[in-house]
Structure 1
């Protein structure tokens, strides 16, 4: 079975290439014009999928820029707007509050108007939020802008990994799914880099760019075929899948597998909370929520949001430069994960990552404890600063090798299609709620005791090692339908 440009009855199978759901319509002339140029460019299936992933990766770049923004701008914003450390901590954490609201609605938005439509909606509050921050004259506009950014990021954080998982071939799903976290690290690195050269207002204006490119880019990629199939749009589903796999590829087997999976799942479109008690639902949901919560409790956001201050506490004078170096290291390490995840497997990388984080954070905790008891005049004082720097770098590398990218990949793979909207919202909400708690308390904990803070993070990392060994299944090399049917 191989689709050409037209079926026997003259219908154009590439029509839904731009389909985003029922929330907007285009004329057939506009559709066919864009389709003809886009389809010519995307004849090869793998090129088509990679192109789609690169477009939606602009969302996670926005996500990362939001995370990294508070680190290089802390001193400037506090001075210009006369904020206290508690007020700035509130500013840093408000993106997580907004993300919680976005997370609650993300699953339902993505189910009702499609993956592309939800990304379009997410881009708008991000743009407004950055403008509000750039023109802020007091804390109220600053806080409002941060909340709006967070709302958009909450939707992006759920929708992008789900979209990538649903369009990717099974042999590329891990690598392409890792692009989500790679894009987040690129966004963080860009915030650190640009923060060295421009003030906080200009940096906020630059934060608009990813979403302003994302919006037109969405018109050139297909909707998720699995979402179209779930919505009963059979023609659109097959055409979207054909575009993604290439027009000369036989998609008959994949079409039949997706149809069988949908036929065997619940006929009801509305899933209640009570339904989540069934093992086929609670087990994958527990694994997804557990990994996303432990990802945040590892303390990575405490390091990324306030890395400049942590480096200052460690006695490193060029703290912003060190922070940018940390961003580069994170991008490189995440790139390595992208290459390895479909070869080494999810479980192995998670175990290596969490074991490495346990030892590296223990090293940072010891360094800060020793620094507290050594005089600043002692020649050993600088050695402890280097020791803490090595530990922080090792923490970021090991986090990026597994715990950064893989929880989102596994969440998007194991949730059954009939509960993906509700369960995905719950898992994403849990992630952002934990992130808010960690971000809000990080500065206060570091003021209390840097050594004690990293001791807490060390204990969490050690628990994560046990959680992965006991509960997390290997999903490498299996289709989404095979993974989800295994829970039945």
Structure 2
């Protein structure tokens, strides 16, 4: 195709540029002219991460809904409520593993569009559920939608963003997750659990509509030999007057190398793949063993157990607001401070907060009078914990998954990494009550504190800095 063919063509399925693009700005050998526009990248990333908002709403649903489910008319047992809260992670595991295959078959954009109605159906089943099996089925579908999104959105954003914007935009996934969690806490404080489900069901539909108006990933389009579509998508993302030729050639070169070989599980054991793959797996392991999902799914239970004067719903909303604010700050810092320093500080400060929470519950068990004077400690500790989780181990494992994994195995590897994360989330959320029974609340928090200390040292010695590096430069770190 001639390099000037993009001048008068419009892109089906997303917004078009009416301005003609001069041939020198799109020729395959040109140098980049000026700076790529940020607005189109932000719009595309924002559309992709609406799925994360729906996922967050599904996660946040559990905290306000759990106490209501124990009351009439359902009067569910604690084991049923625990399963309803945690089964979303099983659906997410299935969605994550399957999503890695689907995004390479039909595309990142199409995957997001097709999974959205399933996501919405899950919320509706929960909302109209009058028995445990129906609610479980709905939560499972919500997890399926969320797990698929957790693969498709980070990969999409990593592929449409310029290297100097990738950290900022990559953090958007976690930002939207925590915003969705806050939405669940806030709305759940005023409405019944079934109304919360119905309201949340509109978010996946917004996700579907938004994705119809942004381009497919240029990387995916090149992988399907659609160079014309890739040019139009890349020009839309970078702005009408930005020269895309150099970047397009880099994508074509990378895809050509990938297409020279078929992808199997054996490829994961190559040194250049295994190292970044294991780093991503370890980061997801430490994210879950920081105790974040155990805390978020059980905030009301934790605050009720602390015996403070403030309403547990109010405390949950405060934590949610802090989490959103901290994630916004993190998204700005990630491309300035770098990934490693944020992860390391995140781990060690979280460890201190978890130790403090353990101390409070230890005294509550062994010295109630002293614990009564420390009623402020759980809320303060959880707020600081959430702030530093949001700075590091919240958004960055997902962002690094999109950066570290080599392109030729990204679909397979990212699905396995995401599936591993969701599998751990299911186990930890499900066994939280069992752990509390076995080693008490303070023992659980001290256990998580130990893992976060290990996480800090792991990042310090084994995780490379990717700040300001192109995807090709990052892959050369493992060559």
TM over 0.5: yes
Q: Is the 8 A contact 2:6 2:232 kept in 1?
A: no
Change in 2 beyond 3 A, CA 1:57/1:275: closer
Instruction: Indicate whether 1:414 and 2:420 are aligned.
Output: no
Any unmatched runs of 5+ in structure 1?
19-33
Q: Tell me the residue number matched to 1:291.
A: 283
Change in 2 beyond 3 A, CA 1:14/1:290: farther
Measured in 2, the distance between the counterparts of 1:44 and 1:473 equals 26
CA deviation map 1:165-205 (0-9, x unaligned):
11111111101111111111100001000011100110000
Measured in 1, the distance between the counterparts of 2:5 and 2:358 equals 70
Measured in 2, the distance between the counterparts of 1:266 and 1:44 equals 28
Q: Tell me the residue number matched to 2:29.
A: none
Residue 424 (structure 2) aligned to one of 434, 458, 463: 434
**In the TM superposition, what is the alpha-carbon distance from 1:260 to its structure 2 partner?**
2.4
Q: Tell me the residue number matched to 2:50.
A: 58
**In the TM superposition, what is the alpha-carbon distance from 1:125 to its structure 2 partner?**
1.5
Residue 472 (structure 1) aligned to one of 454, 463, 470: 463
Measured in 1, the distance between the counterparts of 2:347 and 2:403 equals 21
Measured in 1, the distance between the counterparts of 2:156 and 2:437 equals 40
Residue 402 (structure 1) aligned to one of 379, 392, 413: 392
More deviation in 231-240 or 338-347? Answer: 231-240
SS class of match (2:171) = helix
Q: Tell me the residue number matched to 2:27.
A: none
Q: Tell me the residue number matched to 1:278.
A: 270
Residue 301 (structure 2) aligned to one of 287, 309, 324: 309
**In the TM superposition, what is the alpha-carbon distance from 1:7 to its structure 2 partner?**
6.4
Q: Is the 8 A contact 2:19 2:240 kept in 1?
A: no
Measured in 2, the distance between the counterparts of 1:265 and 1:223 equals 19
SS class of match (2:449) = helix
Q: Tell me the residue number matched to 1:166.
A: 159
Residue 463 (structure 1) aligned to one of 454, 457, 463: 454
Q: Is the 8 A contact 1:16 1:223 kept in 2?
A: no
**In the TM superposition, what is the alpha-carbon distance from 1:466 to its structure 2 partner?**
1.3
Aligned length: 463
Instruction: Indicate whether 1:71 and 2:44 are aligned.
Output: no
Q: Is the 8 A contact 1:13 1:235 kept in 2?
A: no
Change in 2 beyond 3 A, CA 1:423/1:8: closer
1:89-238 matches, within 5 Å, as 89-238=82-231
Residue 481 (structure 1) aligned to one of 448, 472, 476: 472
**In the TM superposition, what is the alpha-carbon distance from 1:44 to its structure 2 partner?**
7.7
SS class of match (1:384) = coil
Change in 2 beyond 3 A, CA 1:336/1:10: closer
Change in 2 beyond 3 A, CA 1:362/1:111: same
CA deviation map 1:402-444 (0-9, x unaligned):
1000000000111111101111111011100111111101123
CA deviation map 1:22-81 (0-9, x unaligned):
xxxxxxxxxxxx6468999xx982111111111112101001101110001111112131
1:351-370 matches, within 5 Å, as 351-370=344-363
Change in 2 beyond 3 A, CA 1:9/1:61: closer
CA-atom RMSD in angstroms: 2.1
| TM-score for both structures, normalised by structure 2 | 0.93
**In the TM superposition, what is the alpha-carbon distance from 1:8 to its structure 2 partner?**
5.0
Change in 2 beyond 3 A, CA 1:411/1:398: same
Q: Tell me the residue number matched to 1:345.
A: 338
Q: Is the 8 A contact 1:17 1:243 kept in 2?
A: no
1:26-45 matches, within 5 Å, as 35=16, 45=37
Q: Tell me the residue number matched to 1:328.
A: 321
